[in-house]
A and B are shown apart, each in its own frame.
Chain A
Amino acid sequence: MKNTWAICKREFLSFFTTPIGYVVVGVFALISGLAFVLSLMTYSKMSIEPAAYGYTSVPSFGETFLSPYLVFNGILIMFLSPLMTMRLLAEERHRGTIELLLTYPLRDREIIFGKYLAAVGMLLVMMCVIAVHLTVVGRFAPLEPAVLVFGVLTVVLMGMAFLAMGLFVSSVTRSQITSGTLTFGVNLVMYVVGNIGEKLPSKNPTPEAWPETVRNALGGTYALFRGLVMELPLDKHAKDMALGVVAPKDVGYYLLFTAFFLFLTFRALESRHWRGKS
């Protein structure tokens, strides 16, 4: 536990002894601020003249402003997460400091959780930016505490999932550029895969001439695959939750996603024991 904290502290501080921490938080603050102002302006126009936007009454604040704004922040973190995670293990390997790290009396879990928590720390710094926005808007419009808590939790959960995935990619790469690009690529695939899922036909695609049992088996597999593809996108599970409607399956999705990639990171780091090199 103490060692985890030591690793976490060093890793977190090194975000801010190099430019990367300032760049990531700065870019996040800029874009998230722009999004905040623009969507707030649009919302105020809507509420003055609902009819012009096809609403019969003033649109719900949570649904038309807060939830899309929070999900957008989650997506923004998706774009920035490779910059936070790419160095975590790849840089150690590239600089050779991994030789120090792995010969200090540390357990794998202390190394992995320390590094992961440092990245989550960066995420919390970003949340401070969101907190400023929400405080500003909260002075003018009453925000439901539930919406607020779960809205922010959504963004944190989304971010944690992206960071876990990035940490895993960083653990199997040597160059930061490869690590960052790969993380970014996987993030994007996860993001667009939902559109593919929606395009997939819902009925059994096997020809009718095939025997019944084969059709059923293939059709069942296909339906499972389609269901998975449609449930996979990381932003899909955020929309409802950002409104304060929390379903266990959505929270579970993010937690399992995070746990899965942390598990893979363990296996990747452990593989040095049997692969013979690292």
Chain B
Amino acid sequence: MIDVDGLTKYYGSIAAIDGVSFHVGKGEIMGFLGPNGAGKSTTMRVLTGFAPASKGSAKVDGYEVHEQPIEVKRRVGYLPENVPLYEEMVVRAFLSYVAEVKGIGRSKRRAEVDRVMEHCGLTAMGNRIIGHLSKGYRQRVGLAQALVGNPPVLVLDEPTVGLDPRQIIEIRNMIRELGREHTVLLSTHILPEVSMVCDRVIIINQGRIAAEDTMENLTRAGSRTLEEVFMEVVAKDQVLVDAAALGEPAA
């Protein structure tokens, strides 16, 4: 469903991501794991057509992001980091607007908005102003706008940041449920989250993929915790990065 090949993105002379390649199959929940500043958000921004790539290609359902942006955007629901929303709007009006720009006809719009509001537990919040909502509900509104139009691919950038433990569990359950029908790419720097929710994991460090495997293989069927794997992979990768920086051949 998602095919990323040799994706590179420079900010000035600094490479935020450098030759990232991966594949996410239909109906898979892929965890995107890495320390802060590793390039998770940048990859997602390129994939959703928000930022252009410097090199490489990203395809969703066979459509290249840069060449057929509209086709890609129709198929992707995106929850950006920090959940930007129109603060002054009420929840229902906002979701109805999203449905409209996603091309859902007037007759079906109301039903669609009701569906996503129910799915995200927002039914009672329809007439609240978004700016007055708590962090947890804002997150749900963000998730709801991504779900409008029922896109086959969901790209969620740190969906559980800043939530309390109960809300985190709720959102995780929601994502796991979404994974039954959607292809989900989920970024996080919380390790247990990945082990609870995802089928496969990509560990990214300093803009490069350090490891990619199923949860089973990475943790050697449970004999290691994901923390150990993560620290080991990042440390090993760091040696390579440092060596490359010094101009020495990588050991």
Give A contacts to B, CB under 8 Å. Answer: 2-3, 6-7, 9-10, 13-14, 17-18, 95-100, 102-107, 272-274, 276-278
Give B contacts to A, CB under 8 Å. Answer: 9-11, 45, 48-52, 54, 66, 70, 73-74, 76, 78, 80, 82, 84-89, 93, 97-98, 100-103, 145
Contact A276 B84 (CB under 8 A): no
Contact A277 B103 (CB under 8 A): no
Bound Cα distance A99, B81 (Å)? 10
Partner pick for A104 among B54, B86, B89, B101, CB 8 A cutoff: B101
Closest 3 CB pairs of A and B: A96-B84, A6-B100, A105-B73
Partner pick for A95 among B54, B84, B93, CB 8 A cutoff: B84
Given A10-B86, A103-B80, 18 extra CB contacts under 8 A: A2-B103, A3-B103, A6-B101, A7-B101, A14-B86, A14-B88, A18-B88, A95-B87, A99-B78, A99-B80, A100-B80, A100-B84, A100-B145, A103-B73, A103-B76, A106-B101, A107-B70, A278-B51
Contact A103 B78 (CB under 8 A): yes
Give chain B residues whose Cβ lies under 8 Å from the Cβ of A106. 73, 101
Contact B73 A276 (CB under 8 A): no
Number of interchain pairs (Cβ within 8 Å): 77
Contact B100 A276 (CB under 8 A): no
Bound Cα distance A103, B101 (Å)? 11
Task: List 22 A-B pairs, Cβ < 8 Å.
Answer: A3-B103, A10-B89, A14-B86, A17-B88, A18-B88, A95-B84, A96-B82, A96-B84, A97-B84, A99-B78, A99-B84, A100-B85, A100-B145, A103-B50, A104-B102, A105-B70, A105-B102, A106-B73, A272-B52, A274-B52, A276-B51, A276-B54
Contact B88 A6 (CB under 8 A): no
Contact A277 B11 (CB under 8 A): yes
Give chain B residues whose Cβ lies under 8 Å from the Cβ of A2. 100, 103
Give chain A residues whose Cβ lies under 8 Å from the Cβ of B102. 104-105
Contact B86 A99 (CB under 8 A): no
Contact B11 A276 (CB under 8 A): yes
Interface centre among A14, A97, A102, A104 (most CB of B within 10 A): A104
Contact A99 B50 (CB under 8 A): yes
Known contacts A6-B97, A96-B82, A103 near B48 by CB under 8 Å = yes
Give chain B residues whose Cβ lies under 8 Å from the Cβ of A276. 9-11, 51-52, 54
Q: A15: nearest residue on chain B (CB-CB)? A: B88
Give chain B residues whose Cβ lies under 8 Å from the Cβ of A104. 73, 98, 101-102
B113 to chain A, nearest CB (A): 14
Bound Cα distance A105, B71 (Å)? 7
Bound Cα distance A103, B50 (Å)? 6
Partner pick for A105 among B82, B93, B101, CB 8 A cutoff: B101
Bound Cα distance A278, B49 (Å)? 12
